[in-house]
Structure 1
Amino acid sequence: LRQIRTTVSFRTCNSIIHQDRTCKTINLVVSMPERGSSMSREDSHYRPYHHRRRHHHGGGGRRIPDRWLNYDPVGRDLEGTPFVPFKTPLDKSFFVGKDDLSEDEHFDVDRIVQYAREQGKTIGLVVDLTNTDRYYKKTDWENYNVKYIKMNCPGHEVSEREDIVQKFLETVDEFVSDSSNDEKLIGVHCTHGLNRTGYLICRYLIDRKGWSAAQAISMFEYSRGHPIERGHYKKSLYEAEERIRKGTPTENASTENGGGDATTP
């Protein structure tokens, strides 16, 4: 397989994961028959970050979030949806003095916009779920005419915060209702672009699109390239599906924001 570092594909083809034991990378090589089209070996998505366990506290600049280097920067856009999940971009100041990091690991707003453009895609909206403003400036998105929405979402709590869920659903509804956004992507990220991000994207697919929880979770995990790690988030998604099936109203959860941003997504 061609090994192109941080090749980010927004193509909507489906596959299962095959591990290359030699270079310890993840290559997506086999098509899932139930959704999308087949993918040739030349179309393989190279994931150089998967299974890396890195912690970086040295060097100059600002401290990189815990475990941030362990996750792929960005996933594929989810087939049949406008969503593309990614981990939080970081301001360039985070990479100052960290000479042991490759250019591929310098993931900022400029890089994600570039990736999208290279695939003929446009990001029209970004929903930032981190519970902090320290990672980058919102003007970084506005400079590219990307609408930026901040939703402070404490780590580990999103499944108990129906107010955040409803705000997310309404934000996406408003964006997709505008026909001028039909071909645009919605970028969603938390610190690692995984748990909070996955929960809210899956809730939209369940609540608004009628997907089953299993279908939504499977598609998100395939597209992101990492599994949702919070078992209680998955349990909550199945409960949401059951409530919708039974027509049971959702109870309002607390609207109190928690403390600082969790070190895990």
Structure 2
Amino acid sequence: MAKTAQGSSASAPESSLATDAHATDPALLRDHSQLKSYKTSRFEYPEIRVFFRQHVKADQLPKKPAPLPLLVCVPGLGGSVAQFHPLLRSLVDLAPCLAIDWPGGGRSRFAPTQWEAYTSAALMELLEVVIEDHRDKEHGQGVVLIAHSMGTILSAGLANPKLPHKTSLAKHVVGLVAICPVSGPMEESKAKLVKRLFWIPGWVFNLWRMWDGRGGPNSASVARFVGEGAPAELKLMQHRYNRQSLTPVWRRMAYGALPARFEDGKPVGGIPGPEAWAGLNIPVFLIGGEKDNVTPPKEVDKIVKAFHSLDDSMAHDEAQIPIVSELDSPASVNGSTQLDADANDNINGLSAEDAEDSDANGPSTPVEYPPDLPPQSQHPLRAVRSIILTGAAANHTLLYSPRTVRALAGLVSDFLTDHITQRLSLAWQLQHLSREGKWDVKNLLKWQGVKPVSEPIGPSNNPVFRVTKTLREADDVHCPAVFADNWGHAIKDVIDISKDQPVYDPRGLERRGIHYHKFPTVSKIPPEAETVDQFIKLVDSIREAQRERAAAEGWSGPEQCVVGVHCHYGYNRSGYFVVCYLVEKCGFALADAIEAFKTARPNGIRHSHFLDKLYMRYDLEERPVEN
């Protein structure tokens, strides 16, 4: 069992050159992480960083035949929970999420130090124990493993009930998403050669890493992962991850992944082999990158071949084939797709929903699911789907690259809905809870009386914003689908500054080319100076990206494309941020900026303390005296 330890940290901007994992933790990870101690059959691991966030409406969603599956993120060699942050921002709205830093990685303490504690078998057992500590065993909760790099083969071994395990977890794994997957151990000759390299003392290896890392974000060690033409933001991120990967930890995990020996040419020990993939009886989604130099796309082909190697034997032994009715699970689909990931977070030539054949059931379609409860099978049909993203951005950073993470999140979301359970659709959850009166806007009548979208705000020849009220999934007028149809030509990005999870599915915007950005703030309190600065930087980055998107996608009238901003009703917080931007970036005088917002959004900023704070921020002497 687990013992809770203190696990707080200070925050720092993502662009910081700091390499301390505590200091660079994003707010989502920082607010939902603990340092915990776990004991396996052989080792005790003190201070393992565990990220866990329960679904915000878990208590109101149905638990029969089981709760929503627990989504578990599994890092690779030298990886960390932080690498999953861009994906987790989407996943936490769908289901409960769990992730850990391996011992000595990320924020976890490097202990114990014995090499045996870092073998693949030892790490798999640790992961089993952590998952079982968080899985709702009482209600039979299933688990979906979402893994990256070496974490994918460890997850395959964890999910295969035919391999030895210390717990019964394998029986409850209902799906596996493998990003940049590993098919199995390297061949004997290469493995023996690599093993000899571990005779080199650790301090020598560390010197080589320092030499390889010369140039920091522009070093060869970073380029190996991010490829050519990578944006500065990604280079900086990869540099930080490389620095956070400690040499003694990397050496132990890498050595522990190698076979202990070979018997008749077959590996013994180390990471599981292709048979781990072949023996899986669950839906599997393989996502590779054409330019991945670490785990090349041929690994996907090997896994698909291994997965299908069991088909013939299963065909001759019907007793091994699970009997699953059409109502118990989505149809089994085995397929491979090749998609192109471009520099603007899109998949060229084929949208994510087209790739998954699911546009008809998009998250904003009012008739996506029948009003009754969609089925949730505890044993989804065995299936394999593979996708190779192409283009310069399709490399080992698929998981966290700004250029690919939107497409990746969409593909993963569609797979979870199509192959695991339709209840993992945020659109269905919102519609279900809205019908039950358990999740909706705070005051529906007041919300319905507010104009959905403001007039353009900013310089007359180059407006910057349109402020909106929050969208509502169950609404016929202001839901993502209708909003995109009416405003998608002008509003290309939406910034959601509400603190809570929105009452609409952001994928409904993303599918239709409108990028969604979550920037949570507290209601009724004027934002602090640091928060305003971060908002301004976000808007600047969005506007720059819009210029690139306009050229790449051939927008008509790109100069009239604006950024949508909403809180709940679109008055006080939204108005405060918009006014600050007009003053600091567009040259407006404070009084003119306040009036411009009020003209575009009649009644303007309603709370006087927001106006007071604006005058204190910019010009105390200009504040008019009210009679």
Corresponding letter in the other structure for 1:113: A
Match of residue 472 from structure 2: 90
Corresponding letter in the other structure for 1:197: S
Distance 1:148 1:158 in 2: 23
Structure 1, unaligned runs of 5 or more = 1-57, 96-102, 246-265
Q: Secondary structure of the residue that 1:232 maps to in structure 2?
A: helix
The counterpart of 1:163, out of the listed 530, 542, 555, is 530
The counterpart of 2:482, out of the listed 88, 98, 111, is 111
Higher helix share: 2
1:57-89 superposed Cα distances (whole Å, 9 cap, x missing partner): x98654432231231111111142220001000
User: Structure 1's 126 and 63: CA in aligned 2 closer, same or farther, altered over 3 A?
Assistant: closer
Match of residue 543 from structure 2: 176
Asked whether 1:143 is paired with 2:514, we answer no
Which has the greater radius of gyration? Answer: 2
Match of residue 76 from structure 1: 455
Distance 2:568 2:441 in 1: 11
Higher relative contact order (CA 8 A, sep 6+): 1
Asked whether 1:220 is paired with 2:623, we answer no
Distance 1:172 1:134 in 2: 20
Any conservation in 1 of the 2:458–2:586 contact (CA below 8 Å)? Answer: no
1:10-46 superposed Cα distances (whole Å, 9 cap, x missing partner): xxxxxxxxxxxxxxxxxxxxxxxxxxxxxxxxxxxxx
Q: Secondary structure of the residue that 1:124 maps to in structure 2?
A: strand
Distance 1:127 1:222 in 2: 21
Q: Secondary structure of the residue that 1:208 maps to in structure 2?
A: helix
User: Structure 1's 158 and 73: CA in aligned 2 closer, same or farther, altered over 3 A?
Assistant: same
1:113-166 superposed Cα distances (whole Å, 9 cap, x missing partner): 22225xxx332211001111141122122111222110111101233x223211
Counting aligned pairs with the same residue, the percent is 23
Corresponding letter in the other structure for 1:207: E
Q: Secondary structure of the residue that 2:614 maps to in structure 1?
A: helix
Corresponding letter in the other structure for 1:84: R
Any conservation in 2 of the 1:151–1:164 contact (CA below 8 Å)? Answer: no
Corresponding letter in the other structure for 2:483: I
- When the two chains are superposed, the root-mean-square deviation of aligned CA atoms in Å is 2.4
Q: Secondary structure of the residue that 1:177 maps to in structure 2?
A: helix
Distance 1:63 1:139 in 2: 18
TM-score if structure 1 supplies the norm length? 0.59
Distance 2:518 2:435 in 1: 30
Q: Secondary structure of the residue that 1:186 maps to in structure 2?
A: strand
Match of residue 569 from structure 2: 192
User: Structure 1's 173 and 158: CA in aligned 2 closer, same or farther, altered over 3 A?
Assistant: same
Distance 2:610 2:521 in 1: 14
Please state how far the C-alpha of 1:189 moved relative to its aligned partner. 0.3
Distance 1:215 1:192 in 2: 22
Distance 1:168 1:233 in 2: 16
Any conservation in 1 of the 2:498–2:521 contact (CA below 8 Å)? Answer: yes
Any conservation in 2 of the 1:86–1:224 contact (CA below 8 Å)? Answer: no
Distance 1:134 1:175 in 2: 20
Corresponding letter in the other structure for 2:541: E
**Which aligned runs of 4 or more in structure 1 are off by greater than 6 angstroms?**
none
Structure 2, unaligned runs of 5 or more = 1-433, 551-557, 623-627
Distance 1:126 1:134 in 2: 12
1:196-215 superposed Cα distances (whole Å, 9 cap, x missing partner): 10000000011112211111
Q: How does 1:199-214 map to 2 (within 5 A)?
A: 199-214=576-591
Corresponding letter in the other structure for 2:617: A
Corresponding letter in the other structure for 1:75: S
Distance 1:225 1:234 in 2: 15
Match of residue 230 from structure 1: 607
Q: How does 1:2-81 map to 2 (within 5 A)?
A: 61=437, 62-66=439-443, 67-80=446-459, 81=463
Please state how far the C-alpha of 1:242 moved relative to its aligned partner. 2.4
Distance 2:565 2:502 in 1: 17
Distance 1:232 1:208 in 2: 23
Any conservation in 1 of the 2:457–2:466 contact (CA below 8 Å)? Answer: yes
Distance 2:598 2:481 in 1: 25
Q: Secondary structure of the residue that 1:158 maps to in structure 2?
A: coil
Distance 2:473 2:499 in 1: 16
User: Structure 1's 225 and 114: CA in aligned 2 closer, same or farther, altered over 3 A?
Assistant: farther
Any conservation in 2 of the 1:72–1:225 contact (CA below 8 Å)? Answer: no
